[in-house]
């Protein structure tokens, strides 16, 4: 219902309009303070808008929304983010519509930050003391006492309180994102993926778009490498070095020169120095100047990033050492069996591709894990490492082996598995050596259980071994050995196809045939 008291007609008395602050347009990229006027009287909306037409706070003007009932106001608050203040009438479609809305804001929308100021032309309908105690509102005004100046004071006080609460909430959320983000960053191995993750986390903390650039300088070389770029700056991913003509470069260069972060809106550069003598600059361009609390949060995050960069470097070094160890073991085995030529390298590449194709086909989703996809290629080169224990007169024999020699030759699978399992057990978790042990011990097992050394059958054979089993035989057939000439490609493919379900896993064979159908040169050695 519409308030009808005669006093309502002059509820907004213009005390001294000259005392209103002059209109101050904020920068065009500034957000506006959102204020919702809730009243069923059209004239109240018009007069309120007139009174607040020139009001601004901290360089930001007001954006006014209007609702003419409690239900309409609830929908606006539900669908419109960042409403700072609600100027709320009590008596509208019902005598307590405003009070019901005040309760719904807190209890249904769970919005504890928006400031709610009750304005009523009928104080008797909602006594101030009872309302203040029973409802989570922030101020109570009779319309008769709201002059232009007092309305201005009420609005500015509410906006100031909203800003403080909003910053506290952003701080809480931002710190949570820092903790979660730092944890996620430690799980990323690739430097470019890591850098992209950093940019995304910074954007999340700022609660803005993902436009950013991460640059890296090694020592004091002055050479600035673009490691990652997102959003509007994605084109910089194609540039190895940061272009000197780029608009962000002056601020980035200043950060490197002064060795501290720069906040020169719209360019903001976070400077990070790591213990490994690397300097990192992260440049972001949010659409509004960063508040001090956002700067403080980013500085805290930068400390976490510095530690993450150092850990990433150490992880990379350990990984390189592990890879070098694997390669050395494979080279040792191949050194004695010079007739295999580049067999292990071809097995490495084809095993990795075949595992990826299995993944794309959706086969064995529980076994073809991201970890397997990452490690199977390098681990596969260890498949014959057990041959280091095979006597030369058997290993290098150009002709057919006798049954006794064949039995001796077959021991290399168990020997390889034993050697690699012993090494893998010295490392926590799953490593290249773990998969290498599975491959060395299982790549001569057969799908039907007639292989060696343990006559494993079907999925009892590790998936890595089932993949390498196909690749090892396929490559061996296609290339010369001391005891055989290379097979034609078609015959080698037919052999693999015919042995599916007997020697080889049918799904793995199907994936290989799929690869060959797409690219008939698979397995061939380039001329």
- What residues are annotated to the active site? 387
The pair phi, psi for residue 215, each rounded to 5°, is: -115, 150
Query: How many whole angstroms separate alpha carbon 435 and alpha carbon 468?
Result: 11
C-alpha span between 446 and 424 (Å, rounded): 25
Residue from 280, 274, 253, 278 nearest 264 by CA: 253
Nearest to 322 by CA among 240, 404, 423, 418: 423
Rounded to a whole number, what is the distance in angstroms from the first to the last CA of the chain? 90
* Distance (Å, whole) CA 253 – CA 244: 9
- Say if residue 277 is exposed, middle or buried (CB neighbours under 10 Å; 0-12, 13-18, 19+): exposed
Length of the chain: 527
CA 273, chain centre distance (Å): 23
What are the Cα distances from residue 384, in Å, to 329, 406, 436, 438, 475? Answer: 10, 15, 10, 12, 14
Question: Contact 439/375 with Cβ under 8 angstroms?
Answer: no
Question: What is the torsional sign of CA 145, 150, 155, 158?
Answer: negative
Q: Which residue carries 């993750």 as its tokens? A: 197
125 burial type by CB count under 10 A (0-12 exposed, 13-18 middle, 19+ buried) = middle
| Alpha-carbon span 455 to 37, nearest angstrom | 79
Cα-flanking dihedrals φ and ψ of residue 68, to 5°? -110, 10
Specify whether the CB–CB gap between 33 and 55 falls below 8 A: no
Residue 486, CA atoms < 13 Å, CB-side half-sphere: 14
SS3 483: coil
Question: Distance between CA 236 and CA 226 in Å, rounded?
Answer: 7
* Helix extents (H) in 37-144: 42-51, 70-79, 97-107, 128-134
Collect all residues with Cβ–Cβ distance below 8 Å to 183 and sequence separation of at least 6. Answer: none
* Sheet with 224-230, side-by-side order of all strands: 224-230, 212-218, 278-284, 267-273, 262-264
357: tokens are: 């194709």
> Structure tokens of 118?
């009750």
Say what angle helices 42-51 and 148-185 make with each other, to 10 degrees. 80
**Neighbouring-strand partners of residue 218:** 278
């Amino acid at each position: 219902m519409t308030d009808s008291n005669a006093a309502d007609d002059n509820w907004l008395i213009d005390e001294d309009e000259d005392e209103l602050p002059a209109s101050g347009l904020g920068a065009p990229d500034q957000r506006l303070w959102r204020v919702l006027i809730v009243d069923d009287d059209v004239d109240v909306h018009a007069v309120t808008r007139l009174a607040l037409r020139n009001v601004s706070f901290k360089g930001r003007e007001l954006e006014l929304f209007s609702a003419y009932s409690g239900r309409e106001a609830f929908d606006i608050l539900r669908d419109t983010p960042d409403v700072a203040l609600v100027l709320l009438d009590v008596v509208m479609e019902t005598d307590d519509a405003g009070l019901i809305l005040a309760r719904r804001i807190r209890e249904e929308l769970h919005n504890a930050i928006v400031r709610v100021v009750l304005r009523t032309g009928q104080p008797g309908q909602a006594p101030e003391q009872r309302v203040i105690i029973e409802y989570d509102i922030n101020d109570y005004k009779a319309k008769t006492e709201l002059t232009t100046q007092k309305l201005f004071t009420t609005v500015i006080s509410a906006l100031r309180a909203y800003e403080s609460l909003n910053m506290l909430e952003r701080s809480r959320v931002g710190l949570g994102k820092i903790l979660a983000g730092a944890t996620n960053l430690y799980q990323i191995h690739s430097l470019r993926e890591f850098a992209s993750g950093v940019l995304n986390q910074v954007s999340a903390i700022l609660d803005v778009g993902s436009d950013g650039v991460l640059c890296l300088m090694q020592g004091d070389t002055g050479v600035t490498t673009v490691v990652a770029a997102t959003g509007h700056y994605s084109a910089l991913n194609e540039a190895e070095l940061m272009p000197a003509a780029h608009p962000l470069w002056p601020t980035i260069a200043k950060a490197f020169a002064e060795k501290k972060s720069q906040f020169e809106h719209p360019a903001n550069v976070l400077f990070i120095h790591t213990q490994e003598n690397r300097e990192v600059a992260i440049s972001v361009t949010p659409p509004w100047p960063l508040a001090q609390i956002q700067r403080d949060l980013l500085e805290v995050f930068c400390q976490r990033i510095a530690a993450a960069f150092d850990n990433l470097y150490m992880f990379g070094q350990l990984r390189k050492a592990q890879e070098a160890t694997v390669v050395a073991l494979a080279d040792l085995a191949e050194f004695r069996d010079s007739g295999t030529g580049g067999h292990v390298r071809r097995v490495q590449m084809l095993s990795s591709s075949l595992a990826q194709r299995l993944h794309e086909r959706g086969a064995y989703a529980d076994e073809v894990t991201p970890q397997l996809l990452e490690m199977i290629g390098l681990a596969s080169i260890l498949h014959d490492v057990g041959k280091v224990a095979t006597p030369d007169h058997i290993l290098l024999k150009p002709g057919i082996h006798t049954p006794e020699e064949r039995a001796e030759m077959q021991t290399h699978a168990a020997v390889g598995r034993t050697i690699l399992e012993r090494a893998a057990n010295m490392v926590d978790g799953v490593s290249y050596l773990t998969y290498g042990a599975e491959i060395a011990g299982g790549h001569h097992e057969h799908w039907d259980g007639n292989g060696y050394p343990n006559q494993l059958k079907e999925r009892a054979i590790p998936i890595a071994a089932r993949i390498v089993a196909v690749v090892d035989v396929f490559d061996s057939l296609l290339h010369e050995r001391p005891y055989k000439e290379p097979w034609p490609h078609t015959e080698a493919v037919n052999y693999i196809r015919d042995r599916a379900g007997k020697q080889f896993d049918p799904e793995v064979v199907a994936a290989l045939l799929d690869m060959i159908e797409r690219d008939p040169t698979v397995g061939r050695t380039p001329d």
